[in-house]
Amino acid sequence: MKFLVTGAAGFIGFHTAMRLCRLGHEVLGIDNLNDYYSVDLKLARLARLQDAPGFSFRKLDIADRDAMRALFDEQRFERVIHLAAQAGVRYSLDNPHVYADSNLSGFVNVLEGCRQTNVGHLAYASSSSVYGTNAKVPFAVEDAVDNPISLYAATKRANELMAHTYAHLYRLPTTGLRFFTVYGPWGRPDMAPFKFTKAILEGQPIDIYNGGEMSRDFTYIDDVVEGIVRIQDCPPPYANEPEELRRGATDRLFNIGLGSPVRLLDFVACIESATGVEAIKQMKPMQPGDVLQTWADVGALASRTGFRPATPLHEGVARFVDWYRTFYGV
């Protein structure tokens, strides 16, 4: 099939595009290659992808309405996997407008492109951050999500509501994927697994927020990609059925997480064991916008696709540290 993967130079987009190409699909990747983090890392991912059979790339900003319309008209994608976004909770405190441009205007352009050219299924990235300060764990897709505590989270929740509207009005088959703290080779330099590993290997201190009293449902990249690939293969029910059967919603939501939260200090211990170096810990107060815990209920994903993320943390962290050492030569 012919796929559009947005954010293809990004962490999850790179791995997803690579996997789709290996499965024999044709993939056009787009990305604006912004400098939120190292452009060299994005280019290195793209250099890998250029060798994948069926892959091509275009530098393009999803907020550019005319360019997006022209792209969809010209290419006639069968499937769209939308992963481009301005990510990061903390950055959204100081840089609100880029979230509005990429995550809201950009998302409308993706929805419109899909609607106007009858794309068979749009799977898009949401985030565990939509659960905000919810106390009930694990977080399930049926839970109310009315209390986002960062602009980033609010844009992700807005995406879910916008996709719902397009599914309802235009019968566009859409699926929202709430990712839980994804880590692994080629990972993001702004996220804890990367920042901790880098600092520990360089003998620099690491910041531990809230005295380490927080936990995250760390999810290995291969599990996330497996979830994306399986979900994109099953568009929501009714989307292709006759009109009278189309009463059910054509949009859905899934959590993609390991379902096994880990306390921050245990996570650091895992990196210490993989690197063989003890961390220098610097205790810091809780950061605005951060949530205390994330924990995915993956029941919906498992029952729809038969797949449940399973990579144990120590294995995933060891693979990440191996990659880090090789890539940076340390």
Ligand X SMILES: NC(=O)c1ccc[n+]([C@@H]2O[C@H](COP(=O)([O-])OP(=O)(O)OC[C@H]3O[C@@H](n4cnc5c(N)ncnc54)[C@H](O)[C@@H]3O)[C@@H](O)[C@H]2O)c1
Closest distance to ligand X from the beta carbon of 102 (Å): 4
What is the signed CA dihedral for 290, 291, 293, 298, rounded to 10 degrees?
-100
Residues 15, 223: contact at Cβ < 8 Å? no
Closest to ligand X by CB, 42 or 79: 42
Tokens representing 285? 């107060």
26/2 Cα distance (integer angstroms): 5
Closest to ligand X by CB, 30 or 119: 30
Other C-beta atoms lying within 10 Å of the C-beta of residue 248? 12
60/73 Cα distance (integer angstroms): 15
Residues 13, 84: contact at Cβ < 8 Å? yes
Catalytic residue, chosen from 152, 166, 220, 324, is 152
Closest distance to ligand X from the beta carbon of 193 (Å): 9
64/159 Cα distance (integer angstroms): 18
Binding status of residue 89 toward ligand X by CB under 6 A: no
Q: Which residue from 3, 7, 110, 228 is in contact with ligand X, where contact means CB under 6 A?
A: 7
Closest to ligand X by CB, 39 or 280: 39
Other C-beta atoms lying within 10 Å of the C-beta of residue 162? 20
Q: Which residue number places its CB atom closest to ligand X?
A: 10
Tokens representing 138? 């694990």
Closest to ligand X by CB, 67 or 277: 67
Contact letters for ligand X, residues 161-180 (x by CB under 6 A): ------------------x-
Closest distance to ligand X from the beta carbon of 21 (Å): 17
Binding status of residue 85 toward ligand X by CB under 6 A: yes
Q: Which residue from 28, 49, 84, 89 is in contact with ligand X, where contact means CB under 6 A?
A: 84
Binding status of residue 28 toward ligand X by CB under 6 A: no
Choose one: 56-64, 67-75, 194-202, 288-296; the region binding ligand X (CB under 6 A). Answer: 56-64
Choose one: 29-37, 113-121, 168-176, 312-320; the region binding ligand X (CB under 6 A). Answer: 29-37
Choose one: 30-38, 109-117, 134-142, 264-272; the region binding ligand X (CB under 6 A). Answer: 30-38
Closest to ligand X by CB, 171 or 267: 267
Closest to ligand X by CB, 133 or 282: 133
Binding status of residue 253 toward ligand X by CB under 6 A: no
Q: Which residue from 29, 106, 148, 176 is in contact with ligand X, where contact means CB under 6 A?
A: 106
Q: Catalytic residue at 36?
A: no
Choose one: 28-36, 48-56, 235-243, 311-319; the region binding ligand X (CB under 6 A). Answer: 28-36
Choose one: 9-17, 205-213, 238-246, 302-310; the region binding ligand X (CB under 6 A). Answer: 9-17
Active site residues: 152
Q: Kindly list the residues in this chain that would bind ligand X in the complex (CB under 6 A).
A: 7, 9-13, 31-34, 42, 61-63, 83-87, 102, 106, 125, 127, 179, 181-182, 188
